[in-house]
């Protein structure tokens, strides 16, 4: 076999392995197992609730995951340290990622974290921190709810969902500058309408304004972020760092013109960190550079509290 053919076959194998890792749940057959309430403090070498995706790396040589480390920015706090590999490939899910062992559904999702500060060493670094749910099945399609930070501008957050079947995906999203209190856009798009971003209004655009959080900088300190997932609406929120007030960033309900935008099927709970070479942050159009260093995310804890009555009703209907 010549070298060129070997390289092509190797690329195909790696691509197939990646897609399988992204879309295959821990329970490949039979009845799925649902996760109960938990909080993961990452103070032990292994997690009771999450697995670490290795991408064929040997565990002892994988420098991307370090649970139980002392925080570099907050004295006395133990964290899961996430490192991006500067030699790693670009693309969602191609960096370090933890995935829940069991399925989650309607409930309250919360995490306390700090993203890396690259403003002085590589201001146009192209990397994404993702705190989200993700699972695709053949019946209901994709179930994804996300928080994302593009590390080139730590004042900005991206929140939204992906739903729909393969080839007919649908997105709702909101982009916010929390330091300035600016909502850049609240919009939807669908493959059926040519993936054109279109504004959301009314019940899909609440609140219409957001007060700035003074000195908000996701890289400067820890913040607590969360979302509440109901069958008929979704609420993304942040805890104010000084007042402990729960600040609502988006309370989405109703439906877009052609779809609901709210996932219905059970999903897997995830956190990842990856290089993007085609998605610059809102304020820095050149921020797609390959990371120069193994930048680090600190995760203090992640929790989940299921809405048991809502989940029981869904499971009852699904089993009938």
Buried b (16+ CB within 10 A) or exposed e, 170-198: bbbbbbbbbbeeebeebbbbbeeeeeeee
pLDDT score at 27: 41
**Chain centroid offset of residue 9 CA:** 31
Q: What is the CATH number of the domain that holds 67?
A: 2.60.120.200
pLDDT score at 13: 32
Domain membership of residue 3 (yes or no) is no
Domain membership of residue 141 (yes or no) is yes
pLDDT score at 195: 85
* Interatomic CA distance for residues 185 and 315, integer angstroms: 35
Q: Does the structure show a pLDDT above 90 at 133?
A: yes
pLDDT score at 24: 41
Domain membership of residue 2 (yes or no) is no
Q: Does the structure show a pLDDT above 70 at 73?
A: yes
pLDDT score at 3: 37
pLDDT score at 46: 86
- Cβ distance 291 to 165 under 8 Å? no
pLDDT tens by residue, 216-269: 999 999 999 999 999 999 999 999 999 999 999 999 997 777 788 999 999 999
Element (H, E) at 319: helix 308-319
pLDDT score at 254: 73
Rounded alpha-carbon distances, angstroms, from residue 208 to 159, 202, 233, 297 = 15, 9, 16, 31
Domain membership of residue 220 (yes or no) is yes
- Cβ distance 210 to 181 under 8 Å? yes
pLDDT tens by residue, 271-303: 999 999 999 999 999 999 999 999 999 999 999
* Interatomic CA distance for residues 277 and 69, integer angstroms: 30
Q: Does the structure show a pLDDT above 60 at 10?
A: no
Residue 13, SS3? Answer: helix
pLDDT tens by residue, 78-96: 999 999 999 999 999 899 9
* Interatomic CA distance for residues 189 and 198, integer angstroms: 6
Element (H, E) at 17: helix 3-23
**Stretch 4-8: mean pLDDT, rounded?**
35
pLDDT score at 40: 97
Tell me the residue range of the domain where 153 lies.
33-319
Tell me which residue of 119, 165, 121 sits closest to 139, measured CA to CA.
Answer: 165
Share of the chain above pLDDT 70, in %: 89
Q: Which pLDDT band, with edges at 50, 70 and 90, does 193 fall under?
A: confident
pLDDT score at 319: 60
Q: Does the structure show a pLDDT above 70 at 22?
A: no
Buried b (16+ CB within 10 A) or exposed e, 14-23: eeeebeeebe
Angle at 222 between CA 238 and CA 77, to 5 degrees: 130
Q: Does the structure show a pLDDT above 70 at 2?
A: no
Strand partners, 104: 267
Task: Round to the nearest angstrom and report the end-to-end CA distance of the chain.
Answer: 53
**Stretch 114-133: mean pLDDT, rounded?**
97
Domain membership of residue 26 (yes or no) is no
* Interatomic CA distance for residues 111 and 117, integer angstroms: 19
* Structure-token match 């909101």, residue found: 174
**Stretch 170-177: mean pLDDT, rounded?**
97
- Total domain count for the chain? 1
Among 52-66, 174-188, 246-260, whose mean pLDDT is lowest? 52-66
pLDDT score at 320: 55
Domain membership of residue 15 (yes or no) is no
Domain membership of residue 28 (yes or no) is no
Domain membership of residue 201 (yes or no) is yes
């Amino acid at each position: 076999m010549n070298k060129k053919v070997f390289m092509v076959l190797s690329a195909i194998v790696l691509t197939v392995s990646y897609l399988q890792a992204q879309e295959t749940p821990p329970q490949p057959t039979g009845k799925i197992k649902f996760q109960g309430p938990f909080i993961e403090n990452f103070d032990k070498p292994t997690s009771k609730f999450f697995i670490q995706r290795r991408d064929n790396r040997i565990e002892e040589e994988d420098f991307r995951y370090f649970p139980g480390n002392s925080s570099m920015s907050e004295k006395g706090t133990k964290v899961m340290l996430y490192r991006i590999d500067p030699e790693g490939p670009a693309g969602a899910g191609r960096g370090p990622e933890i995935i829940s062992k069991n399925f989650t559904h309607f409930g309250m999702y919360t995490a306390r974290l700090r993203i890396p500060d690259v403003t002085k060493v590589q201001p146009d670094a192209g990397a994404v921190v993702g705190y989200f749910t993700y699972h695709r099945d053949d019946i209901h399609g994709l179930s994804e709810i996300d928080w994302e930070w593009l590390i080139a501008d730590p004042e900005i957050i991206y929140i939204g969902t992906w739903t729909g079947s393969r080839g007919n995906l649908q997105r709702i999203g909101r982009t916010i500058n929390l330091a300035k209190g600016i909502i850049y856009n609240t919009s939807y798009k669908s493959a059926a309408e040519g993936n054109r971003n279109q504004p959301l209004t009314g019940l899909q655009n609440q609140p219409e304004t957001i007060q700035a959080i003074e000195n908000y900088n996701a890289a400067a300190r820890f913040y607590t972020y969360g979302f509440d997932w109901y069958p008929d609406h979704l609420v993304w929120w942040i805890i104010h760092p000084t007042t402990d007030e729960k600040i609502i960033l988006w309370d989405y309900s109703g439906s877009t013109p052609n779809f609901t935008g709210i996932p219905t099927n059970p999903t897997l709970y995830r956190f990842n960190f990856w290089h993007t070479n085609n998605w610059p942050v809102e304020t820095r159009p050149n921020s797609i550079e390959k990371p120069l260093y193994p930048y680090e995310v600190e995760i203090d804890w992640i929790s989940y509290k299921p809405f048991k009555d809502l989940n029981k009703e869904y499971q009852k209907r699904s089993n009938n």
